[in-house]
A and B are shown apart, each in its own frame.
Chain A
Amino acid sequence: MNVIQAIAIVVLKEMVRRKDFYVLFIITALITLLMGSINIFRDQSIAGYLKELALLLIWICSLVIAISTTARQLYAEKENRTIFPLLAKPVSRAQLLLGKFFGCWIACGLALFVFYLFLGIVAASREHTLDVGSYLVAMLLHWGALAVVVGMALLGSIVFAAPSSNGTICFVVALGILFLERHLNTVALQTGGWLGNVIYGVYFITPRLDWAFEVREFLIFHNPMPGIVIWTQALLFYGAYAAMLLLAAWLLFRRRALNT
C-alpha cells in the first residue's frame, strides 16, 4: 500500500509542477468571466448560459488533464529508463499500475474541486443561492467517470505505440461516449438487422460516461439531482469498470518486455 501511495504522490507532484492545469484553469476562468461580463438586456442575474458554458469547458479540460496526464506516465518512465530501477525496488507491475492510476485520478479530483469551486462561486454570485449538495453530486459523478477515462488511458498506454496516438484515441472514444452513448439504443432499434444488434451490443458494453455528463443539465435548469441510491450505483458502476480496465492493463503489462 505504501508503494502505491508513494508512486501516486510522485504523479501528483508531477501534475503540480507541470503547467497544464494552470493554463486550462485560467482559460476556463477567462472565457467564463468574459461571457459573464456581456450585457444581456441589463439583467445581471442570468446564470444558465454561464453555467452551461463553464460546465462544458470543465468537462473538456478535465478530459484533457485526465488523458494527457495518464497517457504519458508509462511512456515517460520507459523513455527515461526510470522504470528499471522503479521495478527493481522491488515494486511489482501491478503496484506500479495502481500507483499511476490513483495518482492520476486523485490529481483529476483536485483539479475538479478547483473547477467546481470556481463554478459555484460564479453561479452563486449571479443567482445569490447555491445548492451545494447538487454541485457535490455532479462533481462526484464527474470524478467517478474520470476514473474510467484514466483506466482507459492507462490501458491505451500499454496497447498503443505512442502517447499521442493513445491520447487521441482515448479522447475520441470519450467524446463519442459522452455525446452518442445515450442514443445508441434508439439508433440500434431504428437500424435493425445484424447491424442493429451490433450497435445494441456496443450500447451495453461501453462505459456510461454520459450519466455524469448529462447531470450538468440538472445544475443548469435547477432540477433535482438523482437520489443517493441512484448516484451511488452509478459510482459503483464506474468503480467496477475502472477496475476491469486496470485488470486488463495489468494482464497485458505483466509479461510485456520493457525495452520496447
Chain B
Amino acid sequence: MSKKYTFYPGCSSEGSGMHLDRSTRAIAPKLGIELEDIDDWNCCGASVGHLEGGRLGQAALSGRNLAQAQSQGPQDVVTACAACYLNTHHTNEDIREDEGFKAEVNEALGAAGKSYDGGLHVRHMCEVLVNDVGMDKIREQVTNPLSGLKVAGYIGCQTVRPFAGTERGGNYAEYDDPDFLDDFIEATGAEAVEFKNKTSCCGGAVSVIDPDKTLHLMKRILDEAKDMEADVIATPCPLCQTNVEIYQKNVNDKFGTDFNIPVVFHSQLMAVAFGLDPIKDAAFDQNIIKADVVMEKAKK
C-alpha cells in the first residue's frame, strides 16, 4: 500500500542539492511513498526573496505552487528542502489563519486566473518519514546495515524551526534536541554519535553571500564531528550539505585546520542501507568530498 503525495522538488533539486532529490526519489517507493511533482513549480523565494519582492511577493510564489498542487488533488504537499518547506508551510498557514492575507494572495493569483483556498497541508519529508512511514517500516527495509559507520546527525535550522513542534508541523521534534535524525541513522545500522550541534546554524544564505562571516559557525560543527570521530556528517538540508562541504577548504585556510569530512544526506545513507545502488540511487557521485567510507558498505 503506497500513499500519494504532491511533491515540491525546489530549485536546489536542479543544482547544488541534486543528490538529495535523487536519493529521496530512490528511497520513496521502498517506503510506500508515491510522489507526483507539482507541475511547472516555481521558486519559493528562500530566505531572501522578500527583500526585493516584499512579503506578498514572496507569498505569491508559494501561492502559485499551492494553487497548482490543489488542481492536482487534495493529497498533502511534501518537500525535502528545508527552505521550500518553511516558506510554503508559512504562507499556507497564514492563508488559513488570516482572511485579509488570503484575499491579497488570491487577488495576486487572480491576475493569472488562479486561486487557492488554503485547503492543503504542506509537510516536510522528514516529518512524513516519522509520522506516516514510521521507524519500524524504515527498519524493515534495511537489507544492508551500515554497521561500524559513525555518523554525526546534523539537522540544521529550518527543517525543525519554527514548525516541527507545532500541531500542523506534525509535532515530531524538539527544537534544541530533536531525535529523528539519530533515529534514521540508527535504523540504517550505523551509529549516531552524540552531537550537540545538531541544530546549530551553518550560516545559511549569509554563508553564500559572504562566507568569511560564517566560517566559524561551520568550524564549530566540523570540530565536534571530528572530536566525536564521526566518519561522515549526515543532514536533511540541501543548503547545510552544500555549505559545510564546499567551505571546508575555506575553514581550513582560515583556521589552520585539516578537515576533510564527507557531508551526506540521510536519504543517501538510507538508499545504501536499503540495498540500492550507491551511484544510480544514492547519488554518491555528487558528493564533492567523497564518502568512500559509505560506498564501501554498499551491496556488491
A binds B: no
Interface residues of B (CB under 8 A from A): none
Interface residues of A (CB under 8 A from B): none
